[in-house]
Amino acid sequence: MTIPIKNPDEQNKMRIAGRLAADALDMIEEFVQPGISTAELDRICHDFITNEQGAIPAPLNYRGFPKSICTSINHVVCHGIPGDRVLKTGDSLNIDITVIKDGFHGDTSRMFFAGKPSVIAKRLSDVAYESMWLGIEQLCHGKYLGDVGHAIQSYAEKNRFSVVREFCGHGIGRYFHEDPQVLHYGKAGTGIELKSGMTLTIEPMINSGKSDIKILPDGWTVVTKDHGLSAQWEHTVLITDDGYEVLTLGKNHR
Ligand code: MF3
Ligand code: CO
Ligand code: CO
């Protein structure tokens, strides 16, 4: 396994791609309301990314994925395909946006709610968010990927939620998914040693019930087996000598 180390010029390109992905999420926020379909959200994002940003929506045609963003509602864990489904009051929705600019990828996702969420949906989203940050805060030259997984898993499970095992974070750069795999569970001090110049995503998928998932016959949509709610947040992050730099910060989100 070779993990690409980005030189300063490549790091700058990653900063730009990350900024654009975060800007697209900032842009779409006001459109997430009861009554809009996920296909409309996809079209608005596609047009913004291609026309306003002069960037490429990475999911479109990626391994056959048919749309430009992923929209994952309620019990959908990830990789939901935008379509005719219309948002209802109380739905929770993850929007996952990846753009390619100047040959480099920026990948980020957030949770949104159509109207007012249930108490459990809000709490699950908050725990997923906090677990992502606890994972990110582990990142530093010389630390281990197991430190990240351990921080995420212990926080999620302390809150009596479960961590999805089948999907993970990843290296990112010239390719959408590079080495290493970033597991959202594990044992502190184990696994690959982090080096400054690596760029990774941290994107824990946290379920309200059991961690088990299945993939729908469309070959993409990942759902919880028990149909419990699932939540996910994602940032693209650069490892530095003394910590990390988050490349996909939003205007109103850390
Ligand atoms: N953006 C997702 C990730 O965080 C990957 C989506 S692959 C797609 O890794 F094909 F579904 F877009
Ligand atoms: Co990702
Ligand atoms: Co993503």
pLDDT in tens, 196-243: 999 999 999 999 999 999 999 999 999 999 999 999 999 999 999 999
Residue 254 falls inside a structural domain: no
Q: Ligand 1 pocket: which residues have CB below 6 Å?
A: 59, 62-63, 65, 70, 79, 96, 98, 107, 201, 203, 220, 234
Domain of 164, in residue numbers = 8-246
Nearest alpha carbon, ligand 1 atom 4: 107
Residue 251 falls inside a structural domain: no
pLDDT of 254: 60
pLDDT tens-digit series, residues 18-70? 999 999 999 999 999 999 999 999 999 999 999 999 999 999 999 999 999 99
The CATH number of residue 146's host domain is 3.90.230.10
- Rounded distance between C-alpha atoms, residue 15 and residue 69, angstroms: 20
Residue 3 falls inside a structural domain: no
Residue 2 falls inside a structural domain: no
Q: Which residues contact 111 (CB under 8 A, 6 or more apart)?
A: 92, 93, 94, 125, 128, 129, 231, 232, 233
Residue 45 falls inside a structural domain: yes
Nearest alpha carbon, ligand 1 atom 12: 59
- Beta pairing partners, 108: 97
Among 25, 45, 46, 70, residue to substitute to test ligand 1 (most atoms within 8 Å of Cβ)? 70
Residue 252 falls inside a structural domain: no
- State the amino acid at position 175 in one-letter form: Y
Q: How many domains does the chain have?
A: 1
Exposure of 239 in the CB half-sphere (CA atoms within 13 A):
27
